[in-house]
Amino acid sequence: MQTQKPQKIDLNGDYPCPCRRRGRLTPIALTDAFGCNRCQQIFVVQDSGHTIEQLSTNYPYKRAWRWNGHQWMVVNPSLGKGYVPLTLLITFALVFLLLLTTLSAPVGSQVAFRVVAALVLSVMLVSMLWLACRR
Ligand SMILES: [Zn+2]
């Protein structure tokens, strides 16, 4: 019998891995987590046993799945996707404006110098922030 209703995840159960490498999830002793024997990912059971969440360093957002008794269903795959670029854009705008207003240009230089300097500095700062977020 197959249902589409999310089922509670049994920590002693035998589940396939949500990755597409036909891995199996094996319970990690003394934790609420599963490990995959193929992709080496770790999935933590969340939401009082109804969701597994990928412990990932490769994505700026977390991926989660629910078990419908037959297969894993991705939970809100788009959630958070547009979040990081938006945050970076806002940070960029703020840093740029801040630098533009605080940066003192050398005597005799033009306003264009300040704009370019502020732009370069804010791009550097935001790139560093972005790299830090991706880790
Ligand atoms: Zn896997």
What pLDDT sits at residue 106? 61
0.75 exceeded by pTM? no
- Distance from the CA of 18 to the center of ligand 1, in angstroms? 6
- In this structure, the answer to whether residues 20 and 70 fall within a common structural domain is yes
pLDDT (average), residues 36-64: 84
- Distance from the CA of 40 to the center of ligand 1, in angstroms? 6
Distance from C-alpha of 121 to C-alpha of 16, rounded to nearest angstrom: 47
Helix axes 111-134, 83-102, angle to 10 degrees: 150
C-alpha atoms less than 13 angstroms from C-alpha of 68 in its C-beta half-sphere = 12
- Distance from the CA of 115 to the center of ligand 1, in angstroms? 48
- Distance from the CA of 84 to the center of ligand 1, in angstroms? 25
What pLDDT sits at residue 34? 94
| pLDDT top residue among 38 and 3 | 38
What pLDDT sits at residue 44? 93
What pLDDT sits at residue 24? 94
pLDDT (average), residues 125-134: 80
- The answer, yes or no, to whether residue 1 has pLDDT greater than 50, is no
The total of structural domains in the chain comes to 2
Mean pLDDT of the residues in the chain = 81
Q: Which range scores top for mean pLDDT: 34-48, 87-101, 109-123?
A: 34-48
- In this structure, the answer to whether residues 90 and 66 fall within a common structural domain is no
Range of the domain at 26: 15-75
- Distance from the CA of 53 to the center of ligand 1, in angstroms? 13
Q: Which residues contact 66 (CB under 8 A, 6 or more apart)?
A: 6, 50, 51, 72, 73, 75
- Distance from the CA of 10 to the center of ligand 1, in angstroms? 18
Instruction: Please give all residues whose CB falls under 5 A of ion ligand 1, grouped by chain where several chains appear.
Output: 17, 19, 23, 36, 38-39
- In this structure, the answer to whether residues 67 and 88 fall within a common structural domain is no
- The answer, yes or no, to whether residue 133 has pLDDT greater than 60, is yes
Domain annotation covers residue 116: yes
- Distance from the CA of 13 to the center of ligand 1, in angstroms? 16
- In this structure, the answer to whether residues 125 and 100 fall within a common structural domain is yes
- In this structure, the answer to whether residues 69 and 92 fall within a common structural domain is no
Domain annotation covers residue 6: no
Which of 32, 48, 75 corresponds to the end of one domain? 75
What pLDDT sits at residue 37? 92
